C-alpha cells in the first residue's frame, strides 16, 4: 500500500480569536484547519503516510492551505481548486467556560463543491490506502454527499479500514434530524469510530457516555470505538473490553480546537498499524494514553494542522505523569 490513511472532507481556515487590538477589537489568527486534514497532519507526525481528497477556493487562503498541508507531508494531489467558490472560513470564539463557538462562512464554501467525478479521478489514492477516514461535514450538501459516498464505496471495494468521526457542528445542518441521519449512515459503515460525549447524547439521549456508546455498539456492531469526554477523560471499547483514561489537564491550555482530531489520529494510527484483529488491553491502554497526551498538548498551541506534536514531545510530556 502507498498510504496508511486517505481522508476526504473539509479543508478550511480557522480564524481563531486570540487577542484584542489597542482599540478593543478582537484579533483573529488565520490557522489552517478542517478535521480530516488535521487528522492526517497528526498521522504524519507519527510516521504514517497519508493523502487528502477535497476542495478549496483558488484564492490566497486556498493556496495557503495547500502549501501548509503539503508542508506536513500530506499528499495533496487529491486537492481541487475551485475558480468560482471561495475557501470555507470558520471563526472560532472561545467561551468563558473554555468551550468554543463556531461561526461558519460556507454558503456555499468550496469544500461543498467536491464532485463524484473528481473523487473517481483520484480513486487510486483510496485504493492504495490501508484506511479511509471521513466525517459528516462532507455530507451537509447534496453534491459533496454524493462525492463522499462514492469515496466510501471505493474504499469498501478496496477493503480499506473505514474510520469515522461525526464531528457534529450544529450551525451547518438544516435540522438536527438531518445531522442524525448522516451520522447514523457513518456509524453503519465504520470499523473505527471516534465520538464525543455530546455526540453520544445527541444520538442516543444518554447522558452517561458508557451507556450511550454501548447502545451504539449494540445497534451498529462497530468493532472499535473511542469516546472522548473532554476533561472527564476518554474510553476505548473493543470486543468485551472497556478501558478508561483520565484526561491530561494542562494549565497552559489556550483553546481546544483540534484536540479531538489529534486524539482521533493517534487512535487511528494504532488501529491501522496493529490491525483490528490484533488488539489487546495493553495496546488499547497505550493508544488511549498517547491520544490523550497528544490532545492535551495541542490545546496549548494556536491552531492544529501545522503544529501537531511529534512522538518525542508526547513521550517527554508523559514522563512522570
Q: What does pLDDT average to over the chain?
A: 95
Rg of the Cα trace of the chain? 18
Highest mean pLDDT among 15-29, 109-123, 298-312: 109-123
Cβ within 8 Å of residue 136, ≥6 positions away:
166, 167, 168, 179, 182, 183, 186
pLDDT at position 101 over 90: no
pLDDT at position 98 over 70: no
Cα(88)–Cα(100) distance, rounded to whole angstroms?
18
Please give the share of the chain, as a percent, with pLDDT higher than 90: 88
CB atoms within 10 A of CB 210: 15
Residue corresponding to grid cell 457534529? 168
User: Mean pLDDT over residues 65-69, rounded?
Assistant: 98
Write out pLDDT tens, residues 32-42.
Answer: 999 999 999 99
Q: Identify which has the larger pLDDT, 314 or 254.
A: 314
Q: Identify which has the larger pLDDT, 103 or 215.
A: 215
DSSP string, 46-85: TT--EEEEEEEESSHHHHHHHHHHHHTT-EEEEEEEESSS
pLDDT at position 78 over 80: yes
Helices (H), the chain: 35-45, 60-71, 116-121, 123-127, 142-157, 176-187, 197-204, 209-220, 259-274, 281-298, 311-318
User: Mean pLDDT over residues 184-196, rounded?
Assistant: 98
pLDDT at position 124 over 70: yes
Q: Domain-by-domain residue ranges, the chain?
A: 3-10+34-86+114-318
Cα(103)–Cα(25) distance, rounded to whole angstroms?
17
Cα(147)–Cα(113) distance, rounded to whole angstroms?
9
Local confidence band at 93 (pLDDT 50, 70, 90 cut-offs): confident
Please give the share of the chain, as a percent, with pLDDT higher than 70: 98
Find out if CATH 2.102.10.10 is the number for domain 3-10+34-86+114-318. no
User: Mean pLDDT over residues 106-111, rounded?
Assistant: 95
- Looking at residue 241, its pLDDT comes to 97
pLDDT at position 97 over 70: no
pTM over 0.75: yes
Burial of 174 (0-12, 13-18, 19+ CB in 10 A): exposed
Amino acid at each position: 500500500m502507498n498510504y496508511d490513511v486517505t481522508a476526504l472532507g473539509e479543508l478550511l481556515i480557522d480564524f481563531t480569536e486570540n487577542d484584542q487590538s489597542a482599540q478593543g477589537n478582537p484579533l483573529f489568527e488565520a490557522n489552517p484547519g478542517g478535521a480530516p486534514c488535521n487528522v492526517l497532519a497528526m498521522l504524519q507526525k507519527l510516521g504514517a503516510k497519508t493523502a487528502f481528497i477535497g476542495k478549496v477556493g483558488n484564492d490566497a487562503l486556498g493556496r495557503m492551505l495547500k502549501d501548509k498541508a503539503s508542508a506536513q507531508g500530506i499528499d495533496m494531489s487529491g486537492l481541487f481548486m475551485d475558480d468560482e467558490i471561495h475557501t470555507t472560513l470558520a471563526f472560532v470564539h472561545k467561551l468563558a467556560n473554555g468551550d468554543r463557538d463556531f461561526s461558519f462562512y460556507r454558503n456555499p464554501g468550496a469544500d461543498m463543491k467536491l464532485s463524484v467525478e473528481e473523487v473517481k479521478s483520484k480513486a487510486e489514492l483510496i485504493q492504495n490506502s490501508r484506511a479511509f477516514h471521513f466525517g459528516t461535514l462532507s455530507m451537509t450538501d447534496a453534491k459533496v454527499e454524493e462525492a463522499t459516498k462514492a469515496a466510501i464505496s471505493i474504499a469498501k471495494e478496496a477493503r480499506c479500514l473505514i474510520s469515522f468521526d461525526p464531528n457534529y457542528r450544529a450551525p451547518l445542518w438544516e435540522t438536527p434530524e438531518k445531522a442524525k441521519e448522516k451520522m447514523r449512515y457513518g456509524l453503519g459503515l465504520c470499523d473505527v469510530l471516534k465520538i464525543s460525549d455530546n455526540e453520544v447524547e445527541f444520538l442516543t439521549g444518554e447522558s452517561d457516555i458508557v451507556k450511550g456508546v454501548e447502545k451504539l455498539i449494540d445497534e451498529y456492531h462497530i468493532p472499535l470505538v473511542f469516546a472522548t469526554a473532554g476533561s472527564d477523560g476518554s474510553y476505548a471499547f473493543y470486543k468485551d473490553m472497556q478501558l478508561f483514561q483520565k484526561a491530561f489537564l494542562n494549565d497552559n491550555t489556550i483553546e481546544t480546537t483540534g484536540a479531538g482530531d489529534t486524539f482521533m489520529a493517534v487512535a487511528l494510527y494504532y488501529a491501522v498499524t496493529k490491525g483490528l484483529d490484533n488488539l489487546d488491553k495493553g495496546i488499547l491502554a497505550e493508544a488511549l494514553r498517547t491520544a490523550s497526551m497528544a490532545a492535551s498538548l495541542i490545546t496549548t498551541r494556536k491552531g492544529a494542522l501545522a503544529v501537531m506534536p511529534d512522538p518525542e514531545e508526547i513521550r517527554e510530556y508523559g514522563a512522570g505523569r
